[in-house]
Amino acid sequence: MLSFLQHGRLIRVLKMAKEWDKIAKIEQAISQKYGSEAVQNPKSNWSDLKEQEYLDQIKKLTQKEYALSDKDEKVQLNGILIPKKLLNKESNRTCSTCSAYSFEIYDDLYMNKFDCCRKCYIKWVEDREERWLSGWRPNNGNDT
């Protein structure tokens, strides 16, 4: 005669055997529908070379994520959190020739390349870029 504990274990083993049969049927159905690779153990196609490639990919991904996290770092300035990348940019929107402050987006090109606004570019720089880039300015006293 089986004791109560042995009987419980036997029932669990029988239930487990039924589950294994169910699992085997599911694997067979998957294999028929998607092919035998769908139910293979992933380690069966894994090699040392693939392992090394995978580790290299993980290292590169981690480096990219670390670099991106540095860009997103926030700094507290006067009680406000500001992205650090905004603090690194120097934004000088004042024309060095006429001292006008520009909010116009089209002045960006002239400010970056010639350090002047669009109006000064048209008046002093246009068709004389070489002279301007060599250092000539209208404030030097020779406005010709």
Is 125 contained in some domain? yes
* Contact assessment for residue 115 and residue 124, using Cβ atoms and an 8 Å cutoff: no
Is 77 contained in some domain? yes
Query: Each residue of 19-64: pLDDT tens digit?
Result: 777 778 888 888 898 888 877 887 888 899 999 999 999 999 999 9
Is 6 contained in some domain? yes
User: Which domain covers residue 104, as residue numbers?
Assistant: 91-138
pLDDT at 2 over 80: no
Is 144 contained in some domain? no
Residues 100 and 110 grouped into a single domain:
yes
Is 117 contained in some domain? yes
Is 143 contained in some domain? no
Query: Each residue of 60-85: pLDDT tens digit?
Result: 999 998 887 766 777 777 777 777 76
Residues 55 and 35 grouped into a single domain:
no
pLDDT at 6 over 60: no
Domain count, the chain: 3
Percent of the chain with pLDDT over 70: 78
